[in-house]
Amino acid sequence: MNSLSSIASQLLSDPKGLLAADESTKSANKRFAALNIEQSEEMRRLYRQMLFTTPNVAQYISGVIFYDETIRQTTDDGKPFADYLQEQGIIPGIKVDGGLVDLPNFPGETVTEGLDGLAERLTEYYKMGARFTKWRAAFVIDEAGKLPTSTAIHANLHAMARYASLAQAAGMVPIVEPEVLYDGTHSQKACQDTLSVVLRVLFELLTAYKVDLSGVILKSSMVLAGKDNPQQSDPHAVANATLGVFNERVPKDIAGIVFLSGGQSPDMATANLNAIGSAGKQPWPITFSFSRAVQDPVMAKWDGKSQNVAEAQKIFAQLLANNSFARDGKFTSEKK
């Protein structure tokens, strides 16, 4: 096993998952604003510190994905967050894409920026302790069935494949995250078809760029009907459709698959993950890499107040425990 696949297999080790704590400053501020929490660098530091110092967190998570601001921040006593987590056996990772910008001539579609200067940034992050990285692209499904276009898929996935090759050259595992957005009224079948095309092109391009698949983790959405479609799919149907696409499109030799929660409620994300975990052995380890589904209730309980930290941490540990059970299909609501 080479060092990339060894890092990847530690990240995917049973029964753990990954914590996505890589919300950009803009996204973190938006979530704070919705709860009337002060939006400042110090409040973002205090919030992330609360998450990372939750007792026993290392039982449930193998890695944390940071944002640039967060990997430069420290605990109250001045220890870099990356060092603090490493001491508990949690691997630091970093989001390295530059976010989404509109794709000219393709209304409603975006392309992810961030390749310029990436090799230098990767070297710096490696020195700070990061051993894995993440790059996200987003694909919207429209009502007319015209989006995503082939141009948006190819523009995004070429960039993603170039990122993956640069991350591996810098000694870090790439997490490739082609998110099919949950927003919209589309059917579950439309999501399934879109994810199928996206994953086909993604793995063609990763292969074309000679990326070592054994050192790659796929971060995927689940196959869901759009959020505004009244006909939602039950967890069994979500598991069948999601695993159906993976078995058709995902090479057996990638290191593993993790899920984003994508705007599902915590209960829904856990129930769907549990159905996927219950479906029997798959060719790859599969686990969670949630942000909102493990953080939203925690942030609400915290509410920016130090006296709420212990209660909020209890909720956080419980949500992580639920998803740790769910990855193995062992979650029951009594375990809540």
Which of 161, 227, 158 is CA-nearest to residue 190? 227
Q: How many CB atoms lie within 10 A of CB 272?
A: 26
In the set 292, 317, 327, 331, which binds ligand 13P (CB under 6 A)? 292
Q: What single DSSP character describes residue 232?
A: P
For ligand 13P, the closer of residues 45 and 292 by Cβ is 292
* Phi (first) and psi of residue 213, to 5 degrees: -65, -25
Query: How many Å apart are CA 264 and CA 199, to the nearest integer?
Result: 21
Tell me the closest approach of the beta carbon of residue 134 to ligand 13P, in angstroms: 7
Using CA atoms, how far residue 207 sits from 3, 174, 215, 253, 313, in Å, is 19, 14, 12, 12, 42
Residues 203, 251: contact at Cβ < 8 Å? yes
In the set 96, 225, 293, 298, which binds ligand 13P (CB under 6 A)? 293
Does position 48 interact with ligand 13P (CB under 6 A)? The reply is no
Which of 309, 316, 329 is CA-nearest to residue 21? 316
Q: Which among 23, 95, 134, 177 is annotated as catalytic?
A: 177
Place of tokens 């996927």: 276
For ligand 13P, the closer of residues 261 and 324 by Cβ is 261
Strand runs (DSSP E) across 40-131, as ranges?
61-66, 91-95, 100-102, 110-112
Tell me the closest approach of the beta carbon of residue 133 to ligand 13P, in angstroms: 12
Does position 20 interact with ligand 13P (CB under 6 A)? The reply is yes
Does position 9 interact with ligand 13P (CB under 6 A)? The reply is no
Does position 274 interact with ligand 13P (CB under 6 A)? The reply is no
Does position 61 interact with ligand 13P (CB under 6 A)? The reply is no
Does position 167 interact with ligand 13P (CB under 6 A)? The reply is no
Q: How many CB atoms lie within 10 A of CB 326?
A: 26
For ligand 13P, the closer of residues 64 and 201 by Cβ is 64
For ligand 13P, the closer of residues 64 and 255 by Cβ is 64
Tell me the closest approach of the beta carbon of residue 151 to ligand 13P, in angstroms: 22
For ligand 13P, the closer of residues 45 and 136 by Cβ is 136
Q: How many CB atoms lie within 10 A of CB 252?
A: 9
Tell me the closest approach of the beta carbon of residue 293 to ligand 13P, in angstroms: 6
Query: How many Å apart are CA 177 and CA 52, to the nearest integer?
Result: 23
Q: How many CB atoms lie within 10 A of CB 146?
A: 9
Q: Name the one range near ligand 13P by CB under 6 A: 56-64, 153-161, 290-298, 325-333.
A: 290-298
In the set 16, 131, 136, 186, which binds ligand 13P (CB under 6 A)? 136
Q: Is 210 considered catalytic here?
A: no
Does position 64 interact with ligand 13P (CB under 6 A)? The reply is no
- Amino acid occupying residue 93: G
Which residues between 218 and 247 bind ligand 13P (CB under 6 A)? none
Does position 262 interact with ligand 13P (CB under 6 A)? The reply is yes
Q: What single DSSP character describes residue 181?
A: P
Query: How many Å apart are CA 56 and CA 88, to the nearest integer?
Result: 9
Q: Is 336 considered catalytic here?
A: no
Residues catalogued as catalytic: 177, 219
Residues that bind ligand 13P (CB under 6 A): 20, 136, 177, 260-262, 290-293
